[in-house]
Chains A and B, each alone.
Chain A
Amino acid sequence: MSNRFAGLLTVVLGVLALKLTLSGEYLNYVRAGMYPWLVLSGLILVALGLVGWRSARSPEAHHHHEAGGHSHGLSRAAWLLVVPLLAASLLRPAPLGSFAANRQSSRPPRPPAKTAVLAQKVVKVKPVEAAPAPAVEVAGVPIPAASSNSSEMSLTDFLEITYYDETKALAGVPVTIVGFAMPAQTGKPDEFLLSRFMISCCAADAQLLQAGVTRATGSVPKQDSWVSVTGTWEPDDSSPLMTDDGFPIPKLVARQVVPVAQPENPYLTLAQ
């Protein structure tokens, strides 16, 4: 690879880093916290590449080259950098989905460090002890305000509470959780798995989180489609779903399953 082209390739790679970050596409690959570092790296690469390209074009460099000075071809391996460039640009970015989920087992999340943290989470999702919301009636028919008085929570929080809160305070409290759908292996037509990946650094270290959804009215959502499920947790489940490792998967009895757009950040991140 000539030095001139090496400089230009460095510039293009820097632009790729900037484009992935500024467009938000990077969230399909790495954790959100990488944002400033990727922007900084992109700027540095553009600057380094421009410097390299300019010095390779200068008549002096040409002279050196002709004189047999330091005509160092860059190794051919550098050409491989074209591959991620094409892969990230030609294909629409897609987060990990059911294909990756089928290659690992979901496991219970690790217990939160302090019980206080867990208690706080439980309190946050418990409904406010205020007067019940006035029932909305349309032409004499009460409309269940399913999502209006439910608490939105992450799949991580839901699993932590269902696994580790011994007071079972969440039982019967309506909650709304977003994830992508996967078929449950039970074969029951009204059950599916609400799934999401949690990452620490990048998609290569993703860990699967799953909750079961039962009594989904209407048709079960398509595999890999994103849904928002409102429902209540049933702690005493007579026919629990199980992971391959034999852990029970907590189940939501659905009141409402709504298709939603893929979240801007498809992965959950461990709060550090």
Chain B
Amino acid sequence: MSTRLNAEASFDFGPAKKRSPVPELVALALLALVLLPSGLRGLLESPGIRNWVTVFVAIVVQAIPFLVLGTLLSGAIAALVPPGWLAQHLPKNTAMAVPVAGIAGVGLPGCECGSVPVAGRLMASGAPPAAATAFLLSAPAINPVVLVATAVAFQGQPRYVLARFSASLATAVVVGLIWSKVGKAAYHERALKRVVQGDSRWGTFASTSQHDFLHAGGFLVLGAMTAATLHTMVPKSVLDGLAGAGFISILIIALLAFVLAICSEADAFVAASLTQFSPTARLVFMVVGPAVDVKLVALQTGTFGRSFALRFAPITFVVAIAAGVIAGSLLL
């Protein structure tokens, strides 16, 4: 296998390399620290800040093992799958490739943080973007770990497991098929330009894994900061006051899933506790969360690029709600 060297691999900077603003930023931050008025020092100890820090660090810490698993897999794909192999072996027909990729999601036990680098790497290795996105959406939602967690959370109600499985798989396949029509190559520029380096298989594996970890990790931090801010700022009246009002409650619970960014292995427990919402609304919570939330939009922006995330997130949001509502009314 030949190692690919992408000559134009700088994916953030143009050819004229900008000077890094980091030293100035660090100096500014230090200056701000030195000049911090003593009254503001207590701010760091205030309950709101402490709460923000706890939620923020919690989301990052709990994502680390999944991110490491995802980036190791990404490294392994870069090292072991020859370029072009995927394109050759996946079904040529998109209508076939997308469902196959969606069902393949069963095989990646983890939460959404792990599936983004893997899907990005699959795309870089030549998988059709529509198939890679179907995998991206299905893996965190229908793998065995998540399904078992759902069964535990909704004890004695296996219909929830079935409803979640079908709604999430449908979301993945439908979004994949839509993406095969509307997704342009330009939207995945960042994923396609991803660097693979190293002079041996082992070198490729190690450097790709490390690179993907830092890259995705940075965007995960961005998403975790957003989620922690919403956790700390959103008053509970938003949650309690709007439950039970028909379609509005479904929209509210979908937005809640978007902003809370709860890991797909834990969201069933939260959904089970949202007893003031209808069964269908709770199903929508579990279908939207692993497919699109603030943390995922940040991760996808980092992996695929902004023009991807801006188009992909709204499509996913709408399809996931629709799939949840349909599965809910048929099965729950």
Contact = CB atoms under 8 A, between A and B. Distances in A.
B221 A204 contact: no
A9 B221 CA distance: 14
Contact of B231 (A9, A28, A204): A204
B155 A81 contact: no
Nearest to B71: A48
Interface size bucket, A side?
35 or more
Contact of B267 (A52, A83, A205): A205
A245 B237 CA distance: 11
B53 A74 contact: no
Given A73-B13, A91-B50, A103-B236, A6 B64 contact: no
A96 B213 contact: no
B2 interface: no
A70 interface: yes
A13 B221 CA distance: 13
Contact of B221 (A55, A60, A83): A83
Contact of A70 (B195, B214, B221): B195
Contacts of A88: 57, 61
A200 B64 CA distance: 16
Given A37-B65, A79-B218, A204-B227, A29 B210 contact: no
Contacts of B267: 205
Interface string A70-95: 11111111111101100110010111
B54 A29 contact: yes
B26 to A, nearest CB: 10
B10 A72 contact: yes
B222 A77 contact: yes
Contacts of B197: 70, 72
Interface residues of B, number: 77
A14 B207 CA distance: 16
B209 to A, nearest CB: 6
Contacts of B152: 270, 272
Interface in A188-213: 199-205, 207
Nearest to A108: B275
B55 interface: yes
Nearest to A100: B51
Interface string A109-125: 01001000000000000
A132 interface: no
Contact of B50 (A10, A20, A78, A99): A99
Given A103-B235, A204-B58, A205-B262, A80 B221 contact: yes
Given A203-B54, A245-B240, A99 B260 contact: no
Interface stretch (A39-47, A136-144, A166-174, A249-257): A39-47
A74 B206 contact: no
A272 B148 CA distance: 10
A228 to B, nearest CB: 23
B126 to A, nearest CB: 20
B248 interface: no
A69 B5 contact: yes
B265 interface: yes
B210 A95 contact: no
Contact of B263 (A51, A76, A202): A202
Of B68, B235, B302, most buried by chain A (CB within 10 Å of CB) is B68
B56 interface: yes
Given A78-B217, A84-B61, 14 more contacts: A29-B54, A37-B65, A38-B64, A48-B206, A52-B206, A68-B7, A70-B197, A71-B10, A73-B13, A78-B214, A87-B57, A113-B156, A204-B62, A204-B263
Interface of A: 1, 6-7, 9-10, 13, 17, 20, 26, 28-30, 34, 37-38, 40-41, 44-45, 48-49, 51-52, 55, 60, 68-81, 83-84, 87-88, 91, 93-100, 102-105, 107, 110, 113, 199-205, 207, 244-245, 270, 272
30 contacts: A10-B210, A10-B214, A34-B62, A41-B65, A45-B68, A45-B213, A51-B210, A52-B211, A73-B10, A75-B215, A75-B302, A76-B218, A78-B217, A78-B218, A79-B22, A84-B56, A84-B61, A93-B54, A94-B50, A94-B54, A96-B54, A107-B273, A200-B153, A200-B265, A202-B58, A203-B55, A204-B228, A204-B260, A207-B270, A272-B149
Interface of B: 5-7, 9-13, 17, 22, 44, 47-48, 50-51, 53-62, 64-65, 68, 72, 149, 152-153, 155-156, 195, 197-199, 203, 206-207, 209-211, 213-215, 217-219, 221-222, 224-225, 227-228, 231-232, 234-236, 239-240, 260-263, 265-267, 269-270, 272-273, 275-276, 302
